[in-house]
Amino acid sequence: MAGYLFALLLIMVISTSYGTVARAASSPAASTASKPSLSSPTLCNTCWHPALKTSWQWQLSGTVDQSYNVVMYDIDMFDNSASVVKSLHKAGRIVICYIDAGTWENWRPDAGQFPNSVKGKPVSGWLGERWL
């Protein structure tokens, strides 16, 4: 959960501070360092884009309750099978999957793929979770 909040905060910071970062890169101190090149965003006309006020159900634990009359479900990527996603799709629901992009969680199947060198301090309130 903390990872989700961290990822959301990171997206907000990046989207609101890009201009600040660009100005800082043009300062004399920063001009000696190599500047990263950013590619232009690619528009995806075939991708689903949620409308303002899209109805949704966010469920990250337990058996997914598929009875909600909503447009979109946000479910845990690791804790649900392809059959759950298929069932939601069959019911006409859009499905997105929660992933924790900012922390390591010792109960996840990919936990062994993270070297100790990238594991930071424990996330307060979340036993078995560490910042990356």
Does position 92 have pLDDT exceeding 50, yes or no? yes
Whole-structure pTM value: 0.61
Residue 109 CA to residue 90 CA, distance in Å, equals 27
pLDDT tens digits, one per residue of 26-81: 444 555 667 888 888 888 989 999 999 999 999 999 999 999 999 999 999 889 99
Q: Measuring CA to CA, which residue among 92, 10, 14, 5 is closest to residue 48?
A: 92
Residue 120 CA to residue 122 CA, distance in Å, equals 7
What are φ and ψ of residue 119, in 5° steps? -85, 125
Encoded amino acid at 66, one letter: Q
Contact 75, 59 (CB under 8 A): yes
